[in-house]
Chains A and B, each alone.
Chain A
């Protein structure tokens, strides 16, 4: 062992035997650290930087005026102390990583602090749950808590009732812990990101990545993964479980003798893998496909003995669609099949035309794309660089490329391209990190440190635009939440809810009581008709005796989202609110500065024949 390169990294991927654990690991670490012994000074520097970063961050959270947020999102209102905090953290992390003279705990703490700053900032500043879809997911938990079951045939958000694993688990935890589901959801991005941190380190270790590349890749992951899929969702949970399964496959099923003991896997890793697969398949539609491709690929490429696990995943996913999810599957089979084998369509449905959105959003989207393309380019360069030197990276290549298969299978409501990025990004950052630290022993190269630092800062700036860029309408004011709470708690079952768009605190309680008509989703002809006579068309829609009650709900976040994404003409929703507000035919049954709930005003009329009739007040001609 003493012949190994003294500065190279590090400990065994898996200390599989007691001898290794008790003595071997200590010895291996000694060897690995001979050139890079831990230094108390580095530790003190790291802890001091951590303290300064945290202090600056806490100070930055005071006096942030959320109402001043502009079209570029949260960045427009964060004070300079926020950037000082992230700057200190980044410099400290890269310096410690480059010198390699602190233990993993310090590096874990730095990445943990990064996660806390990025995801904790909205959680603390907003005092309300951000992002409309998180509210809808809270609504599924609420449904399970009230009904003790799911309804696979439900009219709205039926997909979640057919794959309810995540929601069932959340319902149990929320119910028994006494923590409101909204509070859990508020901190879910932080919690899932921390779990992903553990999973990434695990996977990268199992891949045998050198220590510097490993930690740089982990850091880059959290500042390049801008697609925001760590919110309270089945995807966030399934993603963590997927990464864990990849790590487990490499740790316990790899054919490569250096990653695993020279023995067949015992029952425990099998049971664990099956458990992970069952939890994912019963919670999410997309991730099982990734599992099949990756585990199948590992088997075919003779990386790991995971063939049967891939077969099990595929079979179980099919059984789930034919069993618990059969009603959803039957209803959507034609649409699903149409998407299979149409990668070109699937990859373009979610791509926004930047000429159609607001200038702020166009900037954000361009930065999204620069970040994405930049990462792919650097990762590609890293791959090529290593390939030319004879390193084949079969496993890493498989994990990087496998997500592309998703494009051939589904458009996932325009989301497919973003999910491909989500699943590919850890391994893209791994290749990118290898550009800087191909061997892990570059501690004497100041150039490598400079490149790592420069890349980390550049990527961070882009990330802050990309990740926080939609916060103006992802943030919901307490006024909007109060209005939504009033509406969702007052409305009787079988209500009609006409909403400006889908972007507001929606469907989080009693959500099955409504039929939803989002105005923004109507076609252009309807939009033109509404623009010509907003009050008349709204009155016409609301006067519907098929429902127990009818409501029109317009909020600040709906208006801002529409202004930013321009799905409707500029000023469209505001003009509807103005028209309704100025008409005697409507009454604002709940109203504040940020939201209003309108209902029709009815009058009692005695007809010429003497009959008493209740009918809506007529709307004035526009």
Chain B
């Protein structure tokens, strides 16, 4: 997953840079820039929360992206450095830094655990401590999942 996200982030970030620098207008610019601000920071961060269900990703990707843009806008406004290109640059740098950390972790994990792991498939190997991989925890996680499939068990427990 990290590998795919990294490729997507680099592609959209680069495309945004190109449309901004080359001053390309029209729908292409609109789509690329919207995709950048509404998805790239979230895609860059989502790996830190994995594994997640698609439902959770659907909400966390735009939420993180919006939060990042708001916070960067506030920094620009209150430091008296308002240029929107600087805003782009900061969001791009933060996003690239975040995904780079994950890519490095995954690569380090691959080197450390042998060639069997595909890039991105097992990012938690690189990030998590051994405690995350205790078999009993896995069982607990699986059981917790099926537990919520019981009749309103989510409620009865609360």
Q: Which residues of A contact B (CB under 8 A)?
A: 1, 4-5, 8-21, 24-25, 27-28, 31-32, 104, 144, 148-150, 164-166, 168-169, 171-173, 175-179, 195, 198-199, 201-202, 205, 207-210, 237, 240-241, 244, 247-248, 251-252, 256-259, 261-263, 266, 268-269, 272, 275-276, 278-279, 282-283, 303, 324, 386, 390-396, 438-441
Q: 13 other contacts beyond A164-B73, A279-B66, A386-B152, with CB at 8 A cut-off?
A: A4-B150, A5-B149, A13-B148, A17-B138, A25-B145, A32-B149, A169-B37, A171-B73, A176-B37, A178-B30, A201-B58, A202-B59, A208-B153
Residues on B with C-beta less than 8 A from A439 are 151-152
Contact assessment for A176 and B88 in the assembled complex, using a CB-CB cutoff below 8 Å: yes
Can you give 18 A-B contacts (C-beta < 8 A)?
A4-B146, A10-B148, A12-B149, A14-B53, A20-B141, A24-B141, A32-B149, A144-B82, A148-B83, A164-B77, A176-B37, A205-B56, A208-B157, A209-B155, A244-B63, A256-B158, A391-B156, A395-B158
| Min CB–CB distance B153 → chain A (angstroms) | 7
Residues on B with C-beta less than 8 A from A149 are 77, 80, 82
B143 within 8 A of A: yes
Known: A149-B82, A178-B30. A202 touches B58 (CB 8 A): yes
Contact assessment for B158 and A199 in the assembled complex, using a CB-CB cutoff below 8 Å: no
B84 within 8 A of A: yes
Residues on A with C-beta less than 8 A from B132 are 17, 261, 263
| Min CB–CB distance B29 → chain A (angstroms) | 5
Known: A173-B33, A256-B158, A278-B67. A20 touches B77 (CB 8 A): no
Contact assessment for B60 and A244 in the assembled complex, using a CB-CB cutoff below 8 Å: yes
| Min CB–CB distance B43 → chain A (angstroms) | 14
Residues on A with C-beta less than 8 A from B53 are 11-15, 25, 205
Contact assessment for A8 and B150 in the assembled complex, using a CB-CB cutoff below 8 Å: yes
Contact assessment for B146 and A268 in the assembled complex, using a CB-CB cutoff below 8 Å: no
Q: Give the 4 A-B residue pairs with the shortest CB-CB distance, closest first.
A: A208-B154, A12-B145, A168-B73, A148-B82
Which residues of chain B (29-73) have a CB below 8 Å from chain A? 29-30, 33-34, 37, 45, 48-49, 51-53, 55-56, 58-60, 62-64, 66-73
Residues on B with C-beta less than 8 A from A278 are 67, 70-71
Contact assessment for B137 and A17 in the assembled complex, using a CB-CB cutoff below 8 Å: yes
Give Cα A18–Cα B128 distance, bound, in whole angstroms.
12
Give Cα A5–Cα B150 distance, bound, in whole angstroms.
6
Residues on A with C-beta less than 8 A from B141 are 12, 15-17, 19-20, 24, 261
Closest to B54 in A: A104
| Min CB–CB distance B123 → chain A (angstroms) | 9
Contact assessment for A176 and B59 in the assembled complex, using a CB-CB cutoff below 8 Å: no
Of A165, A390, A438, which is in contact with the most chain B CB atoms at under 10 Å from its CB?
A165
Give Cα A282–Cα B75 distance, bound, in whole angstroms.
11
Residues on A with C-beta less than 8 A from B25 are 178
Known: A165-B73, A171-B84, A262-B137. A14 touches B56 (CB 8 A): yes
Known: A5-B150, A168-B70, A172-B37. A262 touches B157 (CB 8 A): no
Contact assessment for B67 and A177 in the assembled complex, using a CB-CB cutoff below 8 Å: no
Contact assessment for B73 and A210 in the assembled complex, using a CB-CB cutoff below 8 Å: no
Q: Which residues of B contact A (CB under 8 A)?
A: 16, 20, 25-26, 29-30, 33-34, 37, 45, 48-49, 51-53, 55-56, 58-60, 62-64, 66-74, 76-78, 80, 82-85, 87-88, 122, 124, 131-132, 137-138, 140-158
Residues on B with C-beta less than 8 A from A179 are 30, 34
| Min CB–CB distance A617 → chain B (angstroms) | 46
Contact assessment for B155 and A386 in the assembled complex, using a CB-CB cutoff below 8 Å: yes
Known: A168-B77, A202-B55, A391-B152. A178 touches B146 (CB 8 A): no
Contact assessment for B51 and A16 in the assembled complex, using a CB-CB cutoff below 8 Å: yes
Of A172, A195, A269, which is in contact with the most chain B CB atoms at under 10 Å from its CB?
A172
| Min CB–CB distance A9 → chain B (angstroms) | 6
Give Cα A119–Cα B93 distance, bound, in whole angstroms.
35
| Min CB–CB distance B117 → chain A (angstroms) | 11
Give Cα A207–Cα B59 distance, bound, in whole angstroms.
16
Residues on A with C-beta less than 8 A from B156 are 390-392
| Min CB–CB distance A239 → chain B (angstroms) | 12
Contact assessment for A210 and B152 in the assembled complex, using a CB-CB cutoff below 8 Å: yes
Give Cα A525–Cα B76 distance, bound, in whole angstroms.
48
Closest to A201 in B: B55
Q: When the two chains form the complex, which single residue of A178, A198, A237 contacts B66, counting CB atoms closer than 8 Å?
A: A237
Give Cα A256–Cα B63 distance, bound, in whole angstroms.
24
Of B33, B64, B146, which is in contact with the most chain A CB atoms at under 10 Å from its CB?
B146
Known: A4-B150, A10-B149, A263-B131. A392 touches B158 (CB 8 A): yes
Give Cα A20–Cα B147 distance, bound, in whole angstroms.
13
Closest to B72 in A: A172
| Min CB–CB distance A265 → chain B (angstroms) | 10
Known: A164-B74, A262-B140, A278-B71. A15 touches B51 (CB 8 A): yes
Give Cα A20–Cα B139 distance, bound, in whole angstroms.
8
| Min CB–CB distance A551 → chain B (angstroms) | 31
Residues on B with C-beta less than 8 A from A172 are 37, 69, 72-73, 76, 84, 87-88
Residues on B with C-beta less than 8 A from A16 are 51, 141, 144
Contact assessment for B149 and A4 in the assembled complex, using a CB-CB cutoff below 8 Å: yes
Residues on B with C-beta less than 8 A from A386 are 152, 155
| Min CB–CB distance A561 → chain B (angstroms) | 32
Give Cα A269–Cα B69 distance, bound, in whole angstroms.
18
| Min CB–CB distance A227 → chain B (angstroms) | 22
| Min CB–CB distance A382 → chain B (angstroms) | 12
Known: A4-B146, A15-B145, A276-B63. A438 touches B30 (CB 8 A): no
